[in-house]
Structure 1
Amino acid sequence: MKIYINLLLIVIVSFSVNAQNSISGKITDTENNPLIGVGIYAQEIHKGTTSKEDGNYILNNIPSGKIRITFSYLGYKTISKIIEFKSENKELNIQLEETSFEVDEIIISTPFNKLQSENVMKIERLSTKSIQKMGVTTLSQGITNIAGVSQISTGASIGKPVIRGLSGNRVLVYTQGIRLENQQFGGEHGLGINEAGISSIEVIKGPASLLYGSDALGGVLYLNPEKFASENAKEINFNQRYFSNTLGSNTSIGAKLSLENWKFLARGTYANHSDYKVPTNKRVTNTRFNEKDFKTGIAYSKNNFTSELRYNFNRSQLGLPEDGIAEQTTSKTLLEPYQVIDNHILSSHNHFFFGDSKLDIDLGYTFNDRQEFEEHHDEHEDEEEHEEEHEEAALRMKLKTFSYNVKYHFPKIGSIEILSGVQGLHQTNTNFGEELLIPDATINDFGVFTTANYTWNKNTLQAGIRYDNRSINTERHEISHDGDVHIFEAIDNFYNSFTTSLGFKTSLSDEITTRINVASGFRAPNLAELTSNGIHHGTNRFEKGNNNLTNEKNTQIDISLEYKTEHFELFANGFYNYLNDYIFIAPTGDIEDGEPVYSYLQENAKLYGGEFGFHLHPHPLDWLHLESTFETVVGKQDNGDYLPLIPANTWKNTFRTEFNIAKWLQQGYSSLTLASTFSQNNIGNFETPSEGYNLLNLGFGGDILLGKTKFSTTISVNNLLDKKYIHHLSRLKADGILNQGRNIVLGLSFTI
């Protein structure tokens, strides 16, 4: 390890030459009026600033080479420029044009980090600020407001993302720029990430194995951490939210400090909730939960080198509802059974600039400690013995993952950009509890890839190819349970695959843009699918793995069409996804240890559907927005049976206004949303149909100015009419337990 550190220091020193670059200028609107507070940001080097009262700006200490700089301001079109610096001070004046639609942001999850409007792939993006306006309880619930995204939920605390009908290991999660590994195969615990300290969420809908390897077969959820403060600035941020339904609160405090070369930030968050209440005015016992989250980061930039180090600790304590609506209390103390899940995430991002080319080295380490505490039924135990038993988890797994991602951006050849890289991970899973869900195991991944982007006129072509290899080795275990012996046989399996992608974007006119993407993906079976042999208490069934499972492979074609004018936007996305050897779990009809037996099978399958919508901003009613989206997905096996866990069709209509009231309320908004979920009758073999329902949601808020401090306020009322309903992907549906009733969420945040 010491050798590697010394080598890294030598490389850093070798790049610390005396070259200094800066860029300055003035930002105005189309009538040459100066714009105050325009964001100027260089994502690659973690540097940013804002324009002053006269519209002038300056950004110092920029490395030599080609750096992308974006200029963004609410209500104006974003401008992104790649500027080549060669030991000089550049002057660039920018004129921003007003727009009625969302700001065009840089997309970080794609290989060439272009503006959304420039990307070959259609990436959905949602800011955390907009999520908080919706009054959601968890991050997973918030992303369901993206068309084509849903969640498999357990109460109000636990949610797993579903992208176009695919979930679990088929959806890869990235946070702090590295792969998140936290036993995500399980449906009975959440993401393990708090939305505080996250600036935005990007969603790739469809195979992304070319960029991220195995497990990105269905899509990617990419969480962008909050930015550091502007150069030579400091700030303290406070955020508080209150939830009426769960009598819950979420408190977050953050601090930032930026100097010329160094930047620091830290944020602490605590959330605490009681059992959620259904429309019958009853609470669902033991759906209470609490969460502690701490994030910190440090960044350094000097000449041709930038580095960023971030750390996140999250402890989630989640009650597991087993008795439905039983004991009625507003206590926040967890009952058994419950889980305690610790996530430690450490990431290092390093960028080396070589003039026309660039090298990115991303390293990550995650440590997931998952404990499950079971309910005790022995009434003859004395209190001391019970307390000792209570302190030890029946199930405890520690998952350690080291990941790496090295990418080299070749010098641009005319209009051609080329990127090549290697990615991989080394992972170990170790059991410490008396029960076993999956065995002790070691997993190694290695992948190599190349992708290229070619732009001419109003057209862009992007293509790539990748090879991956995964090895899975497990130990043999014998577990005795109620007189029965469950054997976990050792396995030594290898999986490999080639994946490719091809995408084309063209502007048929100034108003019409179309995209066509064809991509393949793959997923190696996970440890649960290969090795399970026992009761899974989170799902109330006896699960049997199948170590003969092969890779899942898929090919998806995506077609999207966008029509956009100054006051009207229309989009249509269609997809067809064919999966070879789709892995799913199904009941066998047997009973073992008092629970129904489920086993893992494979069958070819297909999913198809799309998302459609429009956004109307009529003139001269500049304060009015009408938005509508419809999403649908159908999943079938080749034998004609429907796939399980496919979300129902939904149609959302939002009436939104924007306004200012004198000088005390700025950027004010109000919204009324009717979310219609249709009945789901296309169900898997062990599912039951779900009835449709309509939910009405209300939102109001804005920025209140008191002196020099701006207070951002939000008021949200979800399920305004206290409607009784059960979501098709609720894991409590089998017990007939209703989803959450009316929830009033009050939010306040300010920065000093």
Structure 2
Amino acid sequence: MKTISSFILMSASLLVYAQGSELEVIEILVPKQPLVIAGSEHAMSYIDDRSTYTLNRTIADQLSTLVGVNLSGQGGQFQSYSIRGFSRGRIRTEIDGIPIITDRRAGNSASFVAPQLFSTGRVIKGPSSALYGSQALGGVVSLSTESLDKTVLRVSGQSVDQGISVTVNHQDNNFTSALAYQQANDAEAVNGDVLNTEFERVSGLLRYKHQFDGYIVTASWLPSIGKNIGKSNIKYPIRQVSSYPQEQHSLAQLQVSADDKWSVKLFHHYQNWDSETHRFDQYDGVTQYQSHTLGGQWLHQIRLKEQESYWGIDWLSRKGVKITSDYHLHSEEEGISYSLISNEMTGKEDNFALYGKTQWHWEDMQFALGLRYDWLMQHSQQAKRSVDNHFNASLSIEFPLSDTFKAGLDIGNGFRYPTLTERFFYGKTPRGVIAGEQTLRPETSVGTQLFVTWYPLEHISVHTALYHYGLNNYIERYTLNDVQLSYRNLGRAQVYGFESELRWYQSDSIEHEVSYQQQVGKDDSGQVLADLHPRKLSWRARLTLERWSLTNSYSYYLEVNQVGNSEQVRNSFIVWDLSLEHQLNAHHSVSLSVNNITNEEYYASLDEDAAFQPKRSFKLSTSWQF
């Protein structure tokens, strides 16, 4: 506490020193994405290169700095994230507009791409995210690799896992190329636990953009190859060792647009990965996974006086989804070393959608109406096909209450189709027989968000949101009998919460962000839902003096006593990160980051299998711009 007090006093002194400066409005550059019908702007949060003071193991570390976004899952390279308590298949992740669907139970993420390749990203919260269709029930994480015309070399090294990262990004006029190499050993927790976090990965990017006669043609390819990727788990290394010997991804896209009038694109995501699990005295298991995600989109814009409208067609198809598992069960019977269990699931699905959005003004009020109709067909060789359809709508109203107050209301319904594994997988595993349920109904929700933005002073803004979701047919895995597991729809559930963020541009050298979040979620029997985000109070301050830049991030997580199934209670803790950057000249900069300064022993999520987070870590980075 003495160290913390000293730092606060030092920060306060720096604030007083710079207080007399004039205000400079700091503009955060976000990717230009014309013809996007994401919904109301007040439901979005953004990350940029100023979020790299975190451990920055994957993009999840940067996303977790935003209010309403939290880490979930077990940790390491497969650490996933939740938006307002929605996780797993209930939020959508996309890279340059390509949806990422990996069929992992923990949820879809972009961990297979080096975070240094992303220039910016945005998180869409609130009911308007339902315009993206299934898997956007709770929100959307949209990441962009677009960058300015420059060549940048970045090199960094980290103490806790001897991790290194080397990234080269070159963009010149219409051509972009990038290559990133990452490698790390096992990290160590405060209590001395060895964390299964080693990995090695190469990812890259090629993009060509050509403009002629008002048309823009863009072609891109993003490959990634990883190997020896450890899966962090509290059971490691005594009871269980899990790893991914190899992981391959390939994202390709071709897009043609005509100014801001219309846009058409085709994309493809191929993935192939293997996982190994050794559970001592029980089994050795190997799972092989591969799939193709194909899709296309047509989006058209219509302008009529003060009214701006969009309409579009979505096509998303998953082909060649194949999951093969082989388990060698250990046996205690004399003369028998093991028995073999093998199972396989193959499946495919097609999703067609028609959607649109219109925006208009009436006096001082702004309105936005979104509509979407989805038709989906799922098929497996092991079972009959399943066909569903769904219609959803969202409405956003924004209006001024005074010169310093602005308020708004969002309301809409969303849905999530069951996954191929939830409906069609059937096989004997060490856990028992897992039987998919073909009759599962889609999860649905009706969400409401009320927000207020207040400008009490010229340099200060406060944004507050209250939200509520009513959920139906929530899907959970349950024990059917002593040897069989399956899936079922629950009745109703509710999620409601509050989040607030204060931004204070104290001067042209100093800015502050103070945020708080809190939420509750229960089903109709009173059981707490899993993956809810914790009560958290955060303060971030940035100080810039000539060629020096200091970023201070201080987050206090309150204790959690009520948890969902497969979760654990957690004590309160503090996460304190600090980053100091020095611009040596116009082309070269160096930075030093310290993460987990107080050496807290904590879990990043409530998952019962989550391992501790790494101990205090130092990271040295340097960047050359040509």
**TM-score w.r.t. structure 2 length?**
0.87
> Which residue in the other structure is 2:582 paired with?
702
SS in 2 for 1:439: strand
Change (3 A) 1:652 1:723: same
1:221 aligns with 2:141: yes
Q: What is the one-letter code of the residue matched to 1:491? A: K
Q: 1:152 is aligned with what amino acid?
A: S
Q: RMSD in angstroms over aligned alpha carbons? A: 2.8
- AA paired with 1:446? F
**Partner Cα distance (2:582, 2:55) in 1:** 14
Distance 2:528 2:464 in 1: 25
Structure 1 counterpart of 2:612: 738
Q: Residues of 1 paired with 2:429 and 2:139: CA distance?
A: 26
Is 1:557–2:448 an aligned residue pair?
yes
Aligned amino acid, residue 482 of structure 2:
D
What residue in structure 1 maps to residue 514 of structure 2? 628
1:112 CA drift (Å): 5.6
Change (3 A) 1:560 1:581: same
CA shift for structure 1 position 673: 2.5
1:494 maps to 2:387: yes
Aligned-pair CA distance for 1:219: 0.7
- Match among 239, 252, 256 for residue 154 of structure 2: 239
8 Å contact from structure 1 (residues 176, 310) kept in 2: no
Given that residues 342 and 370 in structure 1 are in contact (C-alpha distance below 8 angstroms), is that contact kept between their aligned partners in structure 2? yes
Q: Give the secondary structure class of the aligned counterpart of 1:154.
A: coil
Partners of 1:729 and 1:361 in 2: CA distance: 42
Unaligned runs of 5+ in 1: 1-96, 230-234, 328-334, 379-389, 477-489
Q: Deviations over 1:94-147 (max 9, x none)?
A: xxx964444375663873689xxxx554211111x1222334221112100010
The Cα shift of 1:209 comes to: 5.6
The residue matched to 1:440 in structure 2 has which SS?
strand
Q: Compute the displacement of 1:600 (Å).
A: 4.1
> Retained in 1: the 8 A contact 2:321–2:348?
no
1:575-586 matches, within 5 Å, as 575-586=467-478
1:722 aligns with 2:599: yes
Q: Could you give the per-residue CA deviations for residues 170-209 of structure 1, whole angstroms, max 9, x where no partner exists? A: 1111112222222254459864232232211110113446
Which of 264, 289, 296 aligns to 1:361? It is: 264
Larger of the two Rg values belongs to structure: 1
Q: CA offsets per residue over residues 487-535 of structure 1, 9 Å max, x none?
A: xxx1310111001010012233443222211111111101122234447
Q: Which amino acid is the alignment partner of residue 203 of structure 1?
A: V
Q: Which residue of 2 aligns with 1:680?
A: 560
Residue of structure 1 equivalent to 2:493: 605
1:642–1:325 CA distance, 2 compared to 1 (3 A): closer
Counterpart amino acid of residue 595 in structure 2: N
The CA distance in 1 between the partners of 2:544 and 2:51, in whole Å, is 17
Counterpart-to-counterpart distance in 1, 2:348 and 2:127:
25
Shift of 1:578: 0.8
CA contact (8 A) 1:541 1:598 kept: no
1:253 aligns with 2:141: no
Tell me how far 1:442 sits from its aligned partner: 1.3
TM-superposed CA distance for 1:652, in Å, is 0.7
Give the secondary-structure state (helix, strand or coil) at the position aligned to 2:115. Answer: coil
Q: Which amino acid aligns with 2:182?
A: A
Aligned counterparts, 1:320-339, within 5 A: 320-321=231-232, 324=235, 326=237, 337-339=243-245
1:415 corresponds to 2:289: no
The reply to whether residue 124 of structure 1 matches residue 34 of structure 2 is no
Unaligned segments of structure 2, at least 5 residues: 1-21, 327-341
Contact 2:444-2:473 at 8 Å conserved across structures: yes
Which amino acid in the other structure matches residue 592 of structure 2? I
Per the TM alignment, residue 237 of structure 1 is displaced from its structure 2 partner at its CA by 1.4
Contact 1:246–1:277, Cα closer than 8 Å, also in 2: yes
What is the alpha-carbon distance in structure 1 between the residues aligned to residue 433 and residue 539 of structure 2?
A: 42
SS at the partner of 2:61? helix
Q: What's the CA shift for 1:657?
A: 1.7
What's the counterpart of residue 511 of structure 1?
404
- The CA distance in 2 between the partners of 1:542 and 1:738, in whole Å, is 31
Instruction: Find the aligned partners of 1:209 and 1:571 in 2 and give their Cα distance.
Output: 19
Work out whether residues 24 and 508 of structure 2, in 8 Å CA contact, stay in contact via their aligned partners in 1: no
Per the TM alignment, residue 279 of structure 1 is displaced from its structure 2 partner at its CA by: 0.6
How far did residue 300 of structure 1 move? 0.4
Cα deviation digits, residues 536-562 of structure 1 (max 9, x gap): 78xx78644322210111111111111
Amino acid at match of 2:616: R
| Cα distance change, pair 694–441 in 1 and its aligned pair in 2 (3 A) | same
What are the superposed Cα offsets for residues 207-232 of structure 1, whole Å, 9 maximum, x if unpaired?
A: 44653221111110001122352xxx
**Aligned runs of 1:225-624 on 2, under 5 Å?**
225-227=145-147, 229=149, 235-258=150-173, 263-284=174-195, 286-317=196-227, 318-321=229-232, 324=235, 326=237, 337-353=243-259, 358-375=261-278, 394-410=286-302, 412-431=303-322, 433-435=324-326, 439-476=345-382, 490-534=383-427, 543-564=434-455, 565-587=457-479, 590-591=482-483, 597=485, 599-618=487-506, 622-624=508-510
- What amino acid sits opposite 1:615 in the alignment? R
Change (3 A) 1:99 1:711: same
1:528 counterpart SS class:
helix
Residue 157 of structure 1 aligns to a residue whose secondary structure is helix
Tell me what 1:63 maps to: none
- Contact 1:109/1:202, CA 8 A, preserved across alignment: no
CA distance in 2, matches of 1:169, 1:474: 19
**Structure 1 residues 110 and 642: CA distance shift in structure 2, 3 A:** farther
* Aligned-partner Cα distance in 1 for 2:105–2:236: 28
CA distance in 2, matches of 1:400, 1:213: 19
Pair 190,277 (structure 1): closer, same or farther in 2 beyond 3 Å: farther
Q: What amino acid is the match of 1:585?
A: R
Q: C-alpha distance in 2, partners of 1:102/1:305?
A: 29
Report what 1:25 is aligned to.
Answer: none
| 1:12-68 CA distance string (max 9 Å, x none) | xxxxxxxxxxxxxxxxxxxxxxxxxxxxxxxxxxxxxxxxxxxxxxxxxxxxxxxxx
Q: Per-residue deviation at 1:377?
A: 7.7
Q: How far off is 1:460 after superposition?
A: 1.3
Aligned residue type for 2:274: Q
Relative distance call for 1:267 and 1:104 in structure 2 (3 A) is closer
Q: How many Å separate the matches in 2 of 1:247 and 1:307?
A: 42
1:717: Cα distance to partner?
A: 1.0
Cα distance per residue 1:401-459 (max 9 Å; x no partner): 1101101112x211001111100112113437454777211100000012101024543
- The alpha carbon displacement at 1:641 in A equals 1.1
Measure how far apart 1:701 and its partner are: 1.0
Q: Which amino acid aligns with 1:251?
A: V
Kindly tell me: are residues 675 and 636 of structure 1, through their superposed partners in 2, closer, same or farther at Cα, counting changes over 3 Å? same
Q: What is the aligned partner in structure 2 of residue 193 from structure 1?
A: 113
CA distance in 2, matches of 1:739, 1:148: 20
The one-letter amino acid of 2:294's match is F
Match for residue 103 of structure 1?
A: 28
Over the matched positions of the two proteins, sequence identity in percent amounts to 18
CA distance in 2, matches of 1:575, 1:135: 30
With normalisation by structure 1, the TM-score equals 0.73
